[in-house]
């Protein structure tokens, strides 16, 4: 038995059936399926028990890759992308908060006619220092997920 045959005979769950029904909905919305054919195919999708059964439901639709066709396993091209995005969001929050604090301090200084105590440093200073340490070490604020999970 080939790998493709084994994959076609694998049992499926509700999530796969739901994805196929949603895909059929997209195709009926695009005018590729009539409503009666859509209903028939959705019934077939919910009655499907194997991947091969689901492939038969969408086989003639364009842009649908067979689930049973052998392919490369999907892998994230950059495993640290999520950490970099999180750090960018944290830096953006820090910058926005710093700007707001400086504006408040500046308006108070203008109203009083004297700069007074520069309190915003206590807001953005420690926070910025922690973010800088996390960015430089590449560990983020709480370390990597592997370090947290211990695996």
Helices (H) and strands (E) counted in the chain, each on its own, are: 7, 0
DSSP class of residue 2 equals -
- Per the CB < 8 A criterion, the answer to whether 94 and 131 are in contact is yes
Minimal CA–CA distance to 62: which of 40, 31, 39, 35?
A: 31
Residue 76 is predicted with a pLDDT of 55
As given in the structure block, the two tokens for residue 130 are: 């922690």
The residue extents of the domains of the chain are: 3-58, 81-149
Q: Give the pTM.
A: 0.44
Adjacent-strand bridge partners of 85: none
Sign of the C-alpha dihedral, residues 99, 101, 104, 107?
Answer: negative
**pLDDT (tens place) for every residue of the chain, 151 residues total:** 566 666 778 888 888 899 988 888 888 888 888 888 888 988 998 998 998 888 888 888 887 665 544 445 555 566 677 787 888 899 999 999 999 999 999 999 999 999 999 999 999 999 999 999 988 887 654 545 444 444 4
């Amino acid at each position: 038995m080939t790998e493709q045959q084994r994959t076609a005979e694998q049992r499926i769950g509700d999530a796969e059936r739901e994805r196929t029904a949603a895909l059929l909905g997209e195709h009926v919305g695009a005018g590729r399926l009539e409503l009666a054919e859509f209903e028939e195919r959705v019934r077939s999708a919910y009655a499907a028990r194997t991947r091969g059964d689901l492939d038969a439901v969408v086989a003639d639709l364009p842009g649908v890759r067979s689930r049973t066709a052998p392919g490369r396993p999907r892998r994230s091209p950059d495993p640290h992308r999520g950490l970099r995005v999180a750090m960018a969001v944290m830096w953006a929050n820090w910058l926005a908060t710093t700007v707001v604090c400086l504006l408040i301090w500046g308006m108070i200084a203008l109203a009083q006619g004297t700069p007074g105590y520069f309190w915003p440093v206590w807001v953005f200073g420690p926070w910025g220092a922690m973010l800088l340490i996390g960015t430089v070490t590449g560990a983020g604020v709480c370390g990597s997920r592997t370090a947290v999970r211990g695996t």
